[in-house]
Structure formats: C-alpha cells, structure tokens
Amino acid sequence: MLEPAAPGAGAGAGVGVEARCRREVDELHAFFVRWFTGAVPRTREELARFTDAMHAEMEMVTAGGDRHTLASLAETIDCAHGCMEGSRAGFAIAVRNVRVLRSLGAGAERSHLVSYEEWQTVGAAETARVSTALFREQGGAPNGLAWLHLHETYLAGHAPNAT
C-alpha cells in the first residue's frame, strides 16, 4: 500500500524521513567522488560506506540499461577505485531535487520511494540523470536506510555525447 510521505515521519533519533533520505543520497555520492578520485585508500573499511548502505537484495538498472545485483555492483565499484584519479579536468557529482515520493509498509518492511537528479562533471563535460531509489529501513545501515532498488534515466540532452 502506497501512501504519501509525511514530513518528519519515520525512525532516526528524531530526524525525519525526508532529511535522512536526502542525507543518505548526498553522503553516498560524496563517497563515490572520494572513491573514484582515489582520495581514500582502496580498503574494505572504506568500501564499507557503499556495501553497508546496500540491502542484500539490491538491484540497480543503470541509465544505459544494464542490470546489476549487489554482487556485480560491488565488484564494479571496487574495481573503479581511482578511475578519475589524476583527471586534469576534475570530477564532481552534484545531487539535486531530492524528494521522498512515497513511504510504504511498516516496521521491518517500512520503505521510502525517493527521486533525485545526479549531475556529473568531468572538466567541461556534463551528464545528468534522474534516479528513483527504494530505501528500506534497516538498523545498522548508514542513516538507517538500505538501498533496495535504484533505476537511473538520462535527462534529455544530458546523456554522454548528447548533442
């Protein structure tokens, strides 16, 4: 059963769902910048910021249509450590327009459907995608939220090599 997300609803030491979801999206993307630029060492402890945030049944559909399970996504992220290191142009990710669309379920099944835009720049090149994520409440996960599903779609005119 879907219900509109109520401002301030949910667990998290008095922090509302909207704030926790926004913080999780922002913090995970900040991790990606540090990981891809090699600003943090390639260790299991550093990678845990990613793996601890993922639900065991996590699935992702990339903007290019590739499907990933948690295992394949974790391997891809691990192997991409430092892939932007030394990029003279620089690498940045900006997260915009984070919104909780719906909250559903209760207790251990409590989940939140979230939408956000992800803008990546490498030098003058910029891509942008809209993402829809399903978070499951999960104690022990960063911000108390585990990523259960993620689907990305390029924004019109902002795909790689878009004209």
pLDDT digits (tens, 9 = 90+) for 25-55: 999 999 999 999 999 999 999 999 999 999 9
- Give 96-126 pLDDT, tens digit per residue: 999 999 999 998 889 999 999 999 998 888 9
pLDDT > 50? residue 2: no
On whether the 16-154 domain is CATH 3.10.450.50, my answer is: yes
92: β partners: 121
Count the alpha carbons within 13 Å of 15 in the hemisphere toward its beta carbon.
12
| Dist CA 39 CA 109 (whole Å) | 36
Helix axes 70-79, 44-51, angle to 10 degrees: 140
CA distances from 68 to 27, 78, 150 (A): 21, 14, 10
Rg (CA), the chain: 16
Name the H helices within 40-122. 44-51, 70-79
Residue 87 pLDDT: 65
pLDDT tens profile 48-83? 999 999 999 999 999 999 999 999 999 999 999 999
pTM of the predicted structure, to 2 decimals? 0.88
